[in-house]
Amino acid sequence: MIRLKESILVERSLNYVFEYTSDFSHIQAWDPGVVSSVRVNQKKIGVGSQYDLVLKFGPFRPKMKYEIIEYVPFSRIVLKGVGESFTAMDTIVFTKTAIATQIDYQADIRFHRFGNLIEKLLFPVMKKTGEKAMAGLEQKLAGTRGLPNKAMWFKSGSGLPDYLADHLIIPGMILFSRFGYALGKRFWSEPKGVLYGKKIVLTGGTSGIGKAAAFKLAEKKAFLTIIARNRVKAEQVRHEIVEKTGNPHIDVLIADLSLMHEIREVSEALKASKKNIDILINNAGALFNERKNTPEGLEQTFATDLLGVFLLTQYLKDALAASESPRIINVSSGGMYTQKIEVNDLENSQGQYNGAKAYARAKRGVVILTQIWAEQFKTHGIRVNAMHPGWVDTPGIERSLPGFHERVKRILRTPEQGADTIVWLATSKRAGQYTGLFWLDRRPHETIIFPGTCESAQERQTLWEKLNAFASKG
């Protein structure tokens, strides 16, 4: 057994400290070892309150069920955690002092199977994790924001081995491949129920990942509208879906999503139908190896992969807000990890044009928009999430990145595997509890890995203002 003990002192009232700490649905805000936490039962917090946690342990994301088993208001909380290969008993004691509130934390962790054989090796890592968690809680309760800088990470964090495991590209490459998909699938449970009567709008549904998602959504009896550029191809796909799934509720709308005037027209057509939209899936995208402008004078990567997503979503938000439990799913790319958004060069005009870099920047912008919309749309009840499908063998990849495709084609995912998380985010009741996250294989992942790729608050604001300015033209 591993026993961890930590204490902190915060200049806040006992009542405030207890109430904040006892709501473990936001533990990820202060514990860097937790990726996400969802409260399972919505009754008043107390004995029996349960939470589903996704933890971070190197490149892995194990799950844990957390339950409050003892609850003494403003004094003491005891929680039991159960994972696949471990159990934990956490005791948190709150004490009022003359000028502050003291929090004493103790965790007793038992590993099963092979874990108990390497407890001595795990202890330093677990100890550092506990220290970081309590430092994060102290920071939150003190009212400060943000993450420790890199120097503090190495001083009080998990050290170089954990940092490398989390942030080097090799683990990510494995997770992006079909092997990562197979690994993640071991932890899934299939969502129950169907989507009958749910109105779904899907962009780019005539090939690759979008087509695979369209078939799966149709199988689940969704009322599906596919927005596509090529009418002949779109009608062929619609006929194929109806014939193979038996779902007659499939229609198509034609629009080039790199052209803002066509996005406005297709949006007006959707709104004119007077039907609410339950789910919007922004899947359409393209990687262009040469820099070209659209007939409207916009650089095509920016127009297709970022501005078009922004404009369509903004136009349809009212139709989504009118639905009972609306969702927006934005398809991004793992390539966005390598790039920072360049708010002063959104149209990729500075320096030599690089198609892969331009694409990654646009997809980084989509992830930023996801987080902004998640906050803005909370009052409308709209859940907004982004995902990336991993490395998928699609005609677009083969055409745009032939060298990459040739080197890694043996480990690429099928379009169906790449589309799985899209369908899960649209279907799962559990997924409907999250907003503002970035998903791969039904698990939330960090959005920032490499130094220098994180935008500032001012850059976010600038991006938002510039996208609105572009959208207001014409």
Return the active site residues.
Answer: 359
Closest to 22 measured CA to CA, from 89, 92, 83, 87: 92
CA–CA separation, 17 vs 301, rounded Å? Answer: 48
CA–CA separation, 253 vs 226, rounded Å? Answer: 6
- What would the DSSP string read from start to end of 383-443? EEEEE---SB--HHHHHH-HHHHHHHGGGPBPHHHHHHHHHHHHH-TTGGG--S-EEETTE
Residues 6+ apart with CB under 8 A from 267: 311, 312, 315, 316
Q: Give the distance from CA 346 to its chain's centroid.
A: 23
What DSSP designation does 192 have?
Answer: P
What DSSP designation does 334 have?
Answer: G
CA distances from 203 to 30, 110, 297, 303 (A): 37, 48, 22, 14
Residues 6+ apart with CB under 8 A from 175: 59, 183, 184, 390, 440, 441
Residues 6+ apart with CB under 8 A from 109: 1, 2, 3, 4, 86, 87, 88, 126
Helical residues (DSSP H) of 222-340, grouped into ranges: 231-245, 260-272, 300-302, 308-321
Closest to 241 measured CA to CA, from 230, 231, 252: 252
Are 361 and 288 in contact, with CB atoms under 8 Å apart?
Answer: no
Helical residues (DSSP H) of 169-247, grouped into ranges: 169-176, 178-185, 208-219, 231-245
The count of other CB atoms within 10 Å of the CB of residue 298 is 20
- Structure-block tokens of residue 239: 């006929």
Backbone angles phi, psi at 348, to 5 degrees: 55, 50
Classify 350 in phi/psi space as left (phi over 0), alpha (psi -120 to 50) or beta.
beta
Looking at residue 71, its amino acid is Y
